[in-house]
């Protein structure tokens, strides 16, 4: 399996979220998924939210995955939650 990612549990890893407009210009970036959702909801239409995994060894951080567009997952979750609250 060539698409399996080996994770070294001794290295601290964290998710980095980025919200970008429809031109790909970053609007916000950080480790908080809640803040990413807040920024996405305040952003222009067609904005996207991405997540990537980073590790940090001492002072250097590096991406261990390519960014993944999770916009459709976030929007579907928001819609589902709003539907459940409305009942």
pLDDT in tens, 15-55: 999 999 999 999 999 999 999 999 999 999 999 999 999 98
Q: Residue 62 domain-assigned? A: yes
**pTM, whole model, 2 decimals?**
0.78
Q: Has residue 73 been placed in a domain?
A: yes
Q: Is residue 44 part of a domain?
A: yes
Total domain count, the chain: 1
pLDDT of residue 31: 94
CA atoms within 13 A on the CB side of 69: 9
How would residue 7 be classed by pLDDT, with cut points 50, 70 and 90? low
β-strand partners of 62: 55
Model pLDDT, residue 19: 97
**Residues 6+ positions from 23 with CB-CB distance below 8 Å:** none
Residue 3 within a domain: no
Residue-number span of the structural domain to which 22 is assigned: 12-86
């Amino acid at each position: 399996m060539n698409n399996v990612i080996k994770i070294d549990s001794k290295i601290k890893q964290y998710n980095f979220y980025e919200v970008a407009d429809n031109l790909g210009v970053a609007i916000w970036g950080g480790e908080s998924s809640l803040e990413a959702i807040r920024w996405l909801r305040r952003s222009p239409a067609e904005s996207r939210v991405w997540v990537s995994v980073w590790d940090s060894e001492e002072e250097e951080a590096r991406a261990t995955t390519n960014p993944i567009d999770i916009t459709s997952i976030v929007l579907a979750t928001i819609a589902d939650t709003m539907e459940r609250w409305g009942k």
